[in-house]
Amino acid sequence: MANRILIKDATLVTMDENRDQDRGIVNTGDLYIENDLIKQITCGMEVTPEDVQIISGKNKVVIPGLINLHNHAAMTLFRSYADDYPLMEWLTKKIFPAEAKLTEDDVYWGTSLALLEMIRGGTTTFVDMYYYMEQTARACQEAGIRALLSQVFINSGNNKGLNSLEDAIDFIENWQDENNGRIQAILGPHALYTCPPDFLKKMLKKTEHLNAIIHIHLSESRGEVEETLKNYQKTPVALLEEIGLFERDVIAGHCVHLNDQDIAILSSRGVGISHNPCSNLKLANGIAPLKKLLDHGACVGLGTDGAASNNNLDMFEEIKLCSLLQKGLLEDPTAIPALEAFKLATRGGVKAIKKENSLGILKEGAKADLAIVDFNKPHLQPHNDPVANLVYAASAGDVETVIIDGNILYHKGEFLTMDQERIYYEAAKCSKRLRQ
Amino acid sequence: MANRILIKDATLVTMDENRDQDRGIVNTGDLYIENDLIKQITCGMEVTPEDVQIISGKNKVVIPGLINLHNHAAMTLFRSYADDYPLMEWLTKKIFPAEAKLTEDDVYWGTSLALLEMIRGGTTTFVDMYYYMEQTARACQEAGIRALLSQVFINSGNNKGLNSLEDAIDFIENWQDENNGRIQAILGPHALYTCPPDFLKKMLKKTEHLNAIIHIHLSESRGEVEETLKNYQKTPVALLEEIGLFERDVIAGHCVHLNDQDIAILSSRGVGISHNPCSNLKLANGIAPLKKLLDHGACVGLGTDGAASNNNLDMFEEIKLCSLLQKGLLEDPTAIPALEAFKLATRGGVKAIKKENSLGILKEGAKADLAIVDFNKPHLQPHNDPVANLVYAASAGDVETVIIDGNILYHKGEFLTMDQERIYYEAAKCSKRLRQ
């Protein structure tokens, strides 16, 4: 039997540019889902209740599911474990020793905890990079979330028990477009400073046949850029351009420290940039030139980064913060208006993952990946402007229902595919062992 | 009959410096309330359930109620009504015309909406400045929240239908320490640029007998400081020092643009500074030198400012943001660690309002003003560090119970003193009329 859901009498923030006349906002509309697709957007639709699950949209706002472009999901195990340390001390004394003890089980339960949080907060697709990626894939498969997953690897892979390029290729071959296309395996070279140019060139050659998006950390810290300039007389962006990385589809995490030439390269190459404002502030890397990137036509989405450097996976925080930071920094209150900020978490994200037609939009024929936000809350009253409310006032906790691929995964406090209490219990156990 | 409440087996973040050995965090303790006071903090307390209301603290964290040091509560009516405008256009074309139509009823309902939001988010005391302050006082009285309220006035008061100094004095005399001391009337000269030095001098003389805290906007925008320098060859802070304002107890909102001498004056005078990072970014005023102020021993608390420039009253956002901004700006991940950020919203706030012994702390004999935060949420798992979770991961929506003056005002989604639906309805009606 077909999966049929009707969301009735809701405000629909469609993010559909073909609806430009109404700024993409349908006040009081119905959204009808059949199987994994949005079948109809209309008004006053009548259905037979026996055949269709009806969800009231009264005082609710339906949005395309949010796209979290950069995460290390299993790092929820290290949430609030080591904060406020200098970067090198944080890494070498806290994170690396704990990660050295990681097992497959840890990644499975840490990821599962992250999935609870992301789904609960309206994220329907995320891009990940970490160890034991098969376990992340398994957790995603069971939960029903959409994900682009990269097994992280570095040049010295296999010498220190870390993943090698070969492991990453195996992962891609094993997990290509699983689960109705919900799980997509991509390529995750960690960063330029751990994967030097010659190694990256070798990687490009060896993975030519895979057609996989490349997910990499790029120009995150000032030190990384200075080091690359010293060693190669080029910025990280210019160096990657030189070796031909940007001829492939790339998602670059962070991109904080950029010069004008970097911005021109990233924009003209259509590199998908994951802007992660919370993490960039918390790890003291600074503030990326978001406005300048957008003015140059760059493809930018938003990400939370891992929970160890945020410390949550709330995309609403990133949406608000990316706008506020540019206004404050540039002393311009018109910088990154509400709709533009919301676009980054939806249209920007799907452009970066090359799913512009099927995700991050509410329109007939698109995938039924969406969230219903409950506006019946004091901080979302009165209902003056739904987009401004979403961007400047809402938070993950306001999401009431999440649908991915036409399946309801979360509804009014209940997870329909995951055992919340079991995940809390197992994740706490893993976290405790790793911290010891 | 005495009001008796026992919160059992909770994690208590006391913020009590005399508990320095345990960083002020009691894991699994009981907190017992009698009437308006915290009577006992202990472990394994046994009571007769008929006499005492018992609240389970399992997986919950009890915190002192948060102090919102700078608000214009009734401006919830303008939430998401005019965003992303240049400052002067925002004020002259949007906010001022709407405010010109304000009635007493508007302020009553707008404030009531703000109280729902603040109470729901764990704020137990707030400092306000706006028009028709009797209506704000009435709404606070009915809700049971704690507040310091200032009727705003400017030099040209009464000429344009605005409040005069005399109105403000009347308000103070009428509302001095009402409701078991919960409502405290204070003095609210708007700002130096609307209340010139001679007028402020007159004000100081006329209000000498009142012993009222002075609440004023100070050095919020770059333009304001430049204007004062041009007209008086002094910064706003130096000018207020010269006329003797800081000889009184002062709460100064914003303090974004400060030079070293300003910081020295504010610190040595013990001026209570309301740091409002969200509003300062959103209105494009910049980032206050918080770390420098604290290094100089300044008295700093946190505020949301009004909902028209934020757009919510979520103190957890301010707590997280104040820390992240300094880390990012100073490129120092150790700047404003979690406990210091949380201190600002509790100990910093009560120092500014001169209630250090009775509020913003969980200890025997202090007022029973507190919030219970539900950690049984994906984004607050695992329970590695309760303070880091509160600061970097929690939000207003995680608050489950709020107690003020020993009375439960909010518990598990229910407001016990306020009619939520009626307030939504009336506030929406007022907001619609004002926007027309």
List the single residue in A113, A222, A320 with the smallest CB-CB distance to B381: A113
With respect to residue B433, please indicate whether it lies within any of the assigned structural domains: no
Whether B154 and B75 map to the same domain: the answer is: yes
With respect to residue B424, please indicate whether it lies within any of the assigned structural domains: no
| pLDDT of the residue at A155 | 85
B308: which residues sit within 8 A by CB, 6+ positions away? B72, B75, B78, B79, B81, B82, B95
As given in the structure block, the two tokens for residue A314 are 């709330």
Whether A308 and A270 map to the same domain: the answer is: yes
List the single residue in A328, A393, A431 with the smallest CB-CB distance to B281: A328
Whether A322 and A389 map to the same domain: the answer is: no
| pLDDT of the residue at A179 | 73
Boundary (domain end) residue, out of A310, A328, A352 = A352
Is a pLDDT exceeding 70 seen at residue A113? yes
How far separated are the first and last CA of chain B, in Å rounded? 50
Q: Which residue of A has its CA nearest to B430?
A: A382
| pLDDT of the residue at B178 | 67
Cα A6 from Cα A8, distance rounded (Å):
6
Q: Which residue of B has its CA nearest to A418?
A: B378
List the single residue in A282, A388, A420 with the smallest CB-CB distance to B83: A388
Is a pLDDT exceeding 70 seen at residue A338? yes
With respect to residue B71, please indicate whether it lies within any of the assigned structural domains: yes
What is the rounded average pLDDT for all residues in chain A? 95
| pLDDT of the residue at A158 | 55
Boundary (domain end) residue, out of B304, B326, B352 = B352
- Nearest-CA distance B169 → chain A (Å): 32
Domain containing B214: what range?
Answer: 66-352
| pLDDT of the residue at B193 | 92
* pLDDT (tens digit per residue) in A283-317: 999 999 999 999 999 999 999 999 999 999 999 99
Omega of the bond prior to A337 within 30 degrees of 0, cis? no
Answer yes or no: do B338 and A84 touch at CB < 8 A.
yes
Position B110: which residue type? G
Position B129: which residue type? M
Mutate to test the interface with B, among A81, A83, A318, A435 (most CBs of B within 10 A): A83
User: How much is the average pLDDT of A20-35?
Assistant: 86
Is a pLDDT exceeding 60 seen at residue A159? no
List the single residue in B76, B311, B393 with the smallest CB-CB distance to A312: B393
The 10 Å CB-count burial string (b at 16+, else e) for A231-247 is eeeebbbbbbbebebbe
Residue whose tokens read 């960063």: A191
- Chain B, residues 290-349, CB within 8 A of chain A, namely 307, 310-314, 317, 320-321, 324-325, 327-328, 330-335, 337-338
User: How much is the average pLDDT of A165-179?
Assistant: 86
Answer yes or no: do B116 and A378 touch at CB < 8 A.
yes
Whether A318 and A398 map to the same domain: the answer is: no
List the single residue in A334, A338, A393 with the smallest CB-CB distance to B86: A334
Which residues of A are less than 8 Å from B432 in CB distance?
382
| pLDDT of the residue at A57 | 97
The 10 Å CB-count burial string (b at 16+, else e) for A376-412 is ebbbbbbbbbbbbbbbbbbbbbbbbbbbbbbbbbbee
Whether B293 and B183 map to the same domain: the answer is: yes
Whole-model pTM: value is 0.97
* pLDDT (tens digit per residue) in A126-158: 999 999 999 999 999 999 999 999 999 988 765
Whether A209 and A149 map to the same domain: the answer is: yes
Let me know: does B431 contact A382? Beta carbons within 8 Å: yes
Range with the lowest mean pLDDT among A347-351, A425-429, B43-47, B104-108? B43-47
Backbone angles phi, psi at B6, to 5 degrees: -120, 120
| pLDDT of the residue at B15 | 96
Which residues of B are less than 8 Å from A393 in CB distance?
79-80, 307, 310-312
Whether B121 and B204 map to the same domain: the answer is: yes
A177: left (phi over 0), alpha (psi -120 to 50) or beta: left
With respect to residue B273, please indicate whether it lies within any of the assigned structural domains: yes
Secondary structure in 3-state letters for A55-122: EECCCEEEEECEEEEEECHHHHHHCCCCCCCCHHHHHHHHHHHHHHCCCHHHHHHHHHHHHHHHHHCC
List the single residue in A84, A280, A379 with the smallest CB-CB distance to B314: A379
| pLDDT of the residue at B101 | 94
Backbone angles phi, psi at A191, to 5 degrees: -170, 165
Q: How many CB atoms lie within 10 A of CB A201?
A: 13
Let me know: does B225 contact B234? Beta carbons within 8 Å: no
Residue whose tokens read 């452009």: A351
A91 contact B CB<8A: no
User: How much is the average pLDDT of A222-228?
Assistant: 96
Is a pLDDT exceeding 80 seen at residue A20? no
Answer yes or no: do A80 and B284 touch at CB < 8 A.
no
As given in the structure block, the two tokens for residue B428 are 């929406």
Percent of chain A with pLDDT over 70: 97
Which residues of B are less than 8 Å from A321 in CB distance?
321
Is a pLDDT exceeding 90 seen at residue A112? yes
Provide the CATH number for the domain around residue B273. 3.20.20.140
Answer yes or no: do B81 and A286 touch at CB < 8 A.
no
Cα A316 from Cα A338, distance rounded (Å):
12
| pLDDT of the residue at B159 | 53
Which residues of A are less than 8 Å from B312 in CB distance?
379, 392-393
Mutate to test the interface with A, among B311, B315, B410, B426 (most CBs of A within 10 A): B311
Cα A135 from Cα A149, distance rounded (Å):
11
Whether A221 and A162 map to the same domain: the answer is: yes
Size of interface A-B (CB pairs under 8 A): 208
> What's the domain count of chain B?
2
List the single residue in B222, B280, B384 with the smallest CB-CB distance to A431: B384
List the single residue in B83, B382, B424 with the smallest CB-CB distance to A338: B83
Whether B9 and B21 map to the same domain: the answer is: yes
Residue scoring higher pLDDT (A407 or A26):
A407
| pLDDT of the residue at B161 | 57
B123 contact A CB<8A: no
For chain B, count helices (H), then strands (E).
16, 17
With respect to residue B53, please indicate whether it lies within any of the assigned structural domains: yes
* pLDDT (tens digit per residue) in B341-393: 999 999 999 999 999 999 999 999 999 999 999 999 999 999 999 999 999 99
B401 contact A CB<8A: no
Whether A44 and A84 map to the same domain: the answer is: no
Which residues of B are less than 8 Å from A397 in CB distance?
377, 395, 397-398
Q: Which residues of chain B have pLDDT under 70?
A: 1, 20, 157-162, 177-178
A355: which residues sit within 8 A by CB, 6+ positions away? A125
Name the pairing type of β-strands B60-64 and B4-13. parallel
B198: which residues sit within 8 A by CB, 6+ positions away? none
With respect to residue A436, please indicate whether it lies within any of the assigned structural domains: no
Answer yes or no: do A77 and B378 touch at CB < 8 A.
no
With respect to residue B209, please indicate whether it lies within any of the assigned structural domains: yes
B389 contact A CB<8A: yes
B431 contact A CB<8A: yes
Whether A321 and A406 map to the same domain: the answer is: no
Which residues of A are less than 8 Å from B435 in CB distance?
384
Whether B95 and B21 map to the same domain: the answer is: no
Boundary (domain end) residue, out of A307, A331, A352 = A352
With respect to residue A423, please indicate whether it lies within any of the assigned structural domains: no
* pLDDT (tens digit per residue) in B97-137: 999 999 999 999 999 999 999 999 999 999 999 999 999 99
* DSSP annotation of B178: B
Answer yes or no: do B117 and A379 touch at CB < 8 A.
yes
Mutate to test the interface with A, among B324, B340, B415 (most CBs of A within 10 A): B324
Provide the CATH number for the domain around residue B379. 2.30.40.10
The 10 Å CB-count burial string (b at 16+, else e) for B234-264 is ebbbbbbbebebbebbbbbbbbbbbeeebbe
Answer yes or no: do A84 and B420 touch at CB < 8 A.
no
